[in-house]
A and B are shown apart, each in its own frame.
Chain A
Amino acid sequence: MSKIKQGSPAGKIVVYVVMGIFTFLAIYPLLWLFIQSFKTTQEYLTSSKLALPKLWFFGNYPYAWNMGKFGILLVNSIIYTVVTVIAVVVLGFMAGFAFAKIKNKLTPLLHGIFIVGILLTLQSIMVPLFLMVTRVGLYDTRLGVLIPYIGLGLPMGVYLGTEFIKGIPDALIESARIDGAKFLTIFFRIIFPMTAPVAMTVGILTFTGTWNEFMLINILTSSDTIKSIPVGIGRFSGALASDYGKQFSALVIGVVPMLIFYLTFRKQITKGVAAGAVKG
């Protein structure tokens, strides 16, 4: 480490090379996927996997888009993700504020139960969840997808929200209390605006989690008008899929919206991820 002093040209080159390698490793697989999606499956299977398509076949995309009904799936994915993110941040931080700053006997119990939620696997509650959602008549509705998504996002929202709000000085709240402000007012007027950095973190974690979720939504919906993009990808992929070209183009369709979102908000996202883990 000590050799790589600031400004030493050899050190700089080493750093550039290391970073270059990492950048290449991040981009190349995606680029490869994109290129292969223009091969027919016959060409993919019989040609070199490093080669460009001999014949650029554009048929995979319209096929995947139409057969997979990706138009409506995209709309649904956006709805689920946006609503879930907002709800998790708002509801999670409300509870987080109460846990961190209002004394109550219930806190250790409730907070503890939320923390267990971070450790749970989705697969174990899939079937019970399905039974409940069908029982209350929310099967195959957007609301029946949203409520579980919000519930599954909440443990992380509550955990990070509580930790962050604990770090806010009590004096701030006490002085507002002396001025006669109610706790609800304090939360919405003073605390919530201050949580922006950690809201970003929770938002991003919830966003990627919800956007990529594929098992629960498959179980909870049956109409194409309610499903989301991962279900569409699932229709083209898996061990028994018989056409690589179509499968790859479906994957590209699945990955592009996320890439656009990420590259647009890259600064906020990389800052936001860090903020949640920043401590005292």
Chain B
Amino acid sequence: MKRANRFLVLAMVLVLAIALVGCKKSNSNAASGQVELKVLNYFDMTSANASGEVAQVWEAFEKANPDIKVIREDLFNEPFHNKVEAYAAAGQLPDVIYAWPSGRSTTLHTQHLLKDLKSLIAKDGLAANTLPGALDPNAQGAGYLAILPRAITSSHAFYINNEVLKAAGLTPAKTYSELKAQVPVLKAQGYETVIMANQDDWVMQSCFFSLVAGRFGGAGWEQKILSGQAKFTDPDFVNALTFIKTLYDDGVISRASLTTDYGSGIGQFATNKGAYYIDGDWRIGAFITDSSTGQALIDPARQANFQVTVFPDIEGAKLNKSSSGILGTGWGINANIPADSAKEDAAWRLVKWLSGKEIQTWLLQTGGIATPTRTDINASSLKLEPLQIQGSQLGGQYTTTTVVIDGVFAGEVYTPINEGLQAIGLGSQTPQQVAQAAQRAFDAWKAKQ
């Protein structure tokens, strides 16, 4: 009994001791005169250029700006988004935040938690060397320039594997009916036609359906719905959904794609399991040489056999040679930082750097982005692999850009579409049902505005 008692006292002391030690906050000892910036960074530590990011982006900035102390919090995936919501709920966001122009960063935009960067951009004359589309306030969820985007992204890219097509005695399909006709030929030789990684519901919507909706609805289709002139249940949108059903029915995309996780689609494509692959333009970075291992999923020597373009013409669509595009991610500043304060100046310098020429060039080289927003980057002077060059020329492959659904509609509106697209693949819902669900969600959302 005495032993137990001694144990108890010891335990209590230990609890208190460690708890009190833990009470001490890790000191961020900023030197006098330094401006302290809290930064929330979205950081994929598994990406090939992650270790480069620390040195080339963050350390370089601190070296060049000794008067600024950056306190960085690196998060990735869902933990990042959870944290943003928690910060928003407490009303204490960090000073500089990585954000999407809409979609996953909905709260930041709808609650106007980020500063309008317009005057800062104007002051520095950034418009002179930035693509005009990147500075379009209406392209962002808040309706003003809450972030300074670093790229224009084509959320759709149609990757062609000519090694497979050659082996099957085929050439790249120009139209959907050609593509459909290739299915039995490819299947006979054990190839898939189009590989997709559809396990996550956003993939089909973002990387493919947005393009299809644009082709059936024509440019500006989303404005008609937002303004109430058109409905999701109108023939255009239903036809687009029906086209997705057709793809599954025709075997162009296999239903098994619904069990392929996003990470492994690229492996299937690189190992010649199928002739085509649909994803975003950002996926080029996954195929090229990985600086951390020195290996490439598609060896630079093989890359000449691959093409990056947009989906073939769809017969009966209003529009062809189009893609779906969206602003890339970028950086914003906490709206609570007072204008013209030292902190605002420091934060703006950091944002300018993070979205600036050097970083965009570095991202372009490492495959992080395909189309930078800066116009003063000369891609031809950089050492790029063949697939990267193809990616940088993707913009020339299409004449019209239509919207990405999760970029223009609210979360509660696009979620039923995302899920409905999977349900269509599973055969558990019809295109009409999905269209009705989307319209219902839209009406409910509209009623709240």
A: which residues have CB within 8 A of B?
40-46, 57, 59, 63-64, 67-68, 79, 82-83, 86-87, 90, 126-127, 130-131, 134, 140-143, 145-146, 188-190, 192-193, 214-215, 218-219, 222-223, 225-226, 231, 234-247
Contact = CB atoms under 8 A, between A and B. Distances in A.
Interface in B360-395: none
Interface string B3-22: 01100100110110011111
B271 A146 contact: no
Contact of A142 (B4, B12, B21, B44): B21
A181 to B, nearest CB: 12
7 contacts: A87-B15, A143-B22, A193-B5, A231-B79, A239-B77, A239-B200, A243-B290
Contacts of B86: 126-127, 130, 219
Interface of B: 1, 4-5, 8, 11-12, 14-15, 18-26, 38, 43-48, 50-51, 73-79, 82-83, 85-86, 89-90, 92, 200, 261-264, 266-267, 270-271, 285-286, 290, 292-293, 295-297
A240 B44 contact: yes
A231 B45 CA distance: 12
Given A192-B4, A225-B26, A236 B295 contact: no
Contact of B271 (A45, A64, A145, A226): A45
A42 B290 contact: yes
B89 A127 contact: yes
A242 B270 contact: no
Contacts of B264: 45
B15 A63 contact: no
Nearest to A90: B11
B45 A46 contact: no
A218 B79 contact: yes
A238 B11 CA distance: 38
B56 to A, nearest CB: 15
B19 A83 contact: yes
Contact of B46 (A188, A215, A246): A246
B11 A134 contact: no
Contact of A45 (B78, B90, B270): B270
Given A141-B25, A241-B46, A131 B293 contact: no
B295 A241 contact: no
A219 B77 CA distance: 14
Contact of B48 (A57, A140, A241, A242): A242
B5 A146 contact: no
Given A239-B200, A240-B44, A143 B83 contact: no
A115 B295 CA distance: 55
Contacts of B79: 214-215, 218, 231, 234
Among A68, A146, A226, A238, max chain B CB count under 10 A is at A238
Contacts of B89: 127, 130-131
Among A79, A189, A242, max chain B CB count under 10 A is at A242
Contacts of B51: 63, 67
Interface of A is mostly: helix
Nearest to B92: A134
A87 B22 CA distance: 15
B77 A241 contact: yes
B25 A188 contact: no
A243 B295 contact: no
A45 B266 contact: yes
Contacts of B76: 234-236, 238, 240-241
A234 B77 contact: yes
Contacts of A245: 293
A189 B5 contact: yes
Closest 8 A/B residue pairs (Cβ): A142-B22, A45-B267, A238-B77, A243-B46, A193-B4, A42-B295, A40-B293, A225-B26
A241 B44 contact: yes
A50 to B, nearest CB: 15
A80 B262 CA distance: 34
B132 to A, nearest CB: 30
A172 to B, nearest CB: 13
Given A238-B76, A238-B78, 20 more contacts: A40-B295, A41-B46, A41-B293, A46-B267, A59-B293, A67-B50, A79-B18, A87-B15, A127-B85, A188-B8, A193-B1, A218-B82, A226-B26, A231-B79, A236-B76, A239-B200, A240-B44, A241-B77, A241-B263, A246-B292
Nearest to A46: B271
Among B45, B263, B271, max chain A CB count under 10 A is at B45
Nearest to A69: B74
A219 B14 CA distance: 26
Nearest to A43: B295
A87 B38 CA distance: 33
Given A40-B293, A189-B5, A223 B18 contact: no
Contacts of A188: 5, 8
B69 to A, nearest CB: 14
Contacts of B92: 134
Nearest to A45: B267
Contact of B22 (A40, A42, A146, A240): A146
Contacts of B15: 83, 86-87, 90
A142 to B, nearest CB: 2
Given A79-B18, A240-B44, A215 B26 contact: no
A242 B1 contact: no
A61 B75 CA distance: 20
A57 B45 CA distance: 18
B8 A90 contact: yes
A227 to B, nearest CB: 10
Contacts of B266: 45
